[in-house]
């Protein structure tokens, strides 16, 4: 696996994880913050 492929795979996995985290955070902070 090339470094670029590893980066893309890692990025999509982190995006899924971030969506889960954002869902948990939205229960605590109802107002969405600026998307970074």
pLDDT tens figures, 1-36: 577 777 777 777 777 777 777 777 777 766 666 655
Whether residue 32 contacts residue 26, with contact meaning beta carbons closer than 8 Å, is answered with: yes
Of 14, 35, 32, whose CA–CA distance to 23 is shortest? 32
Confidence at residue 25, expressed as pLDDT on a 0 to 100 scale: 73
Has this prediction a pTM greater than 0.85? no
Confidence at residue 15, expressed as pLDDT on a 0 to 100 scale: 76
Confidence at residue 30, expressed as pLDDT on a 0 to 100 scale: 65
Confidence at residue 34, expressed as pLDDT on a 0 to 100 scale: 64
Confidence at residue 1, expressed as pLDDT on a 0 to 100 scale: 59
């Amino acid at each position: 696996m090339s470094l670029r492929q590893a980066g893309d795979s890692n990025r999509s996995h982190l995006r899924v994880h971030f969506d889960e985290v954002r869902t948990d955070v939205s229960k605590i902070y109802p107002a969405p913050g600026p998307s970074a």
